[in-house]
Amino acid sequence: MQQNASSTTQQKSADRSTVPPAQSIITDITTSSLEPTEPTEPIDLTTTGEATELPTASTPGEDDSLVVQSLHGLGSPLLPAPIQPPTPPLTPPPAYSRKYVAGLFTFEQLSIFLIYPSTIAVGSLISIVSPPESYFGLRTNFFNVFFVKNGWFWTTITFMVHCIRLRISKPSKLVIRYAFATLWWFLFTQWFFGAPIMDRVFLGTGGVCFVNDPEAVPGDERKVHDSWSSFGCRHVKGEWAGGHDISGHSFLLTHASLFLWFELLPVIMERGPLLRQINTKIVFVTLALWWWMLLMTGIYFHTFTEKVTGWLCGIAEWAIIYILLPGNRTLTTMVGVPGV
């Protein structure tokens, strides 16, 4: 594409040096309107990317037309090139503002991204100032046990509800993005060649599983159990304590929410009939519940740093797939971009 663009530019400058000024102007008008637009910004995930192919390099046909225009001006000085109305640019302008903040985010993407650290910050602040007595402060509350503890399952269901109404050309890319998100959740919270990543961090920072020893001398009832995972520790009714216990809830709720938001964003930005569908409302209900539960985690559970590390790990996969990859055309072709 670079070569095509530069050869076109060279051709244009050659024309300028040889043809009379009037023809040169005509040639410039026609060529500039046909000029393929080289993206200088990341691929915008808020566009309807999968509805069409990713913007590609100029096709041979397009280049040929540029050459024909130039040759016409050079080879037929007595026959001026017909004035044609400018054709629209090859990349249609987006239907909404696409300003990038720090060259990475659109305004909408940045706003969504900021919801989660602010929620954790506000929750932690409330926990210091005056945490209210609440049903949501109980670990056994229904919303925690039924929804968050099965959080990836409900996120999967919500994602499917969102997907089944889409008309995208490449559903396989959407499954690949889901697979990456699931893989990261799985490695982080369930299994990483043994204990999951979050448990390995806990053990690596000096955490242990304490269990009560009924035969121990009074005052020294607790002994260390050799559980290598929080799951194993819970199984022996032990207490997982001592190390840096990354908040699994902060991780999961952030990771799942960013995944759903960024898959839904094209529907939101399109502001069309899809936005009013029940499927969209279901996604918003899940997002609202995840946000509320994150706020509750912020208020009632964990230390501030454990919630921050949970959040940081929760944005890791999202940052790669939805923010960094769109800067690389080849890698983006592998995972696609969300669309409608």
Ligand X SMILES: CCCCC/C=C\C/C=C\C/C=C\C/C=C\CCCC(=O)SCCNC(=O)CCNC(=O)[C@H](O)C(C)(C)COP(=O)(O)O
Q: Under the criterion CB under 6 A, does residue 293 sit at the interface with ligand A3P? A: yes
Residue 162 a catalytic site member: no
- Catalytic entry in 162, 225, 255, 302: 302
8-state DSSP, 104: T
Nearest distance, CB of residue 136 and ligand A3P, angstroms: 6
**DSSP string across 281-333:** HHHHHHHHHHHHHHHHHHHHSS-HHHHHHHHHHHHHHHIIIIIIGGG-HHHHH
Nearer to ligand X, 42 or 238 (CB): 238
List binders of ligand A3P among 132-171 (CB under 6 A): 136, 139, 141, 144
- For the chain, counts of helices (H) and of strands (E): 13, 5
185 DSSP 8-state letter: H
Backbone angles phi, psi at 147, to 5 degrees: -100, -60
160 binds, among ligand A3P, ligand X, none (CB under 5 to 8 A by kind): ligand X
Of the candidate residues 152, 202, 261, 318, the single one contacting ligand X (CB under 6 A): 152
Q: How far is CA 85 from CA 82, 152, 155, 179, in A?
A: 10, 54, 50, 47
Q: Figure out which of the listed residues 10, 37, 52, 150 binds ligand X, where binding follows CB under 6 A.
A: 150
Binding flag, residue 95, ligand X (CB under 6 A): no
- Selected from 302, 318, 326, 335, the binder of ligand A3P by CB under 6 A is 302
Q: Which of 119, 254, 297, 332 binds ligand A3P (CB under 6 A)?
A: 297
SS3 assignment, position 62: helix
Q: Please state whether 263 falls in left (phi above 0), alpha (psi between -120 and 50) or beta.
A: alpha
Q: Is 235 a catalytic residue?
A: no
DSSP state of 4: H
Q: Looking only at residues 35 through 74 of this chain, which bind ligand X when binding is defined by CB under 6 A?
A: none
Note the residues at the interface with ligand A3P (CB under 6 A).
136, 139, 141, 144, 247-250, 293, 296-297, 301-302
Note the residues at the interface with ligand X (CB under 6 A).
148-153, 156, 159-160, 163-164, 171, 174-175, 178, 189, 230, 248-249, 252
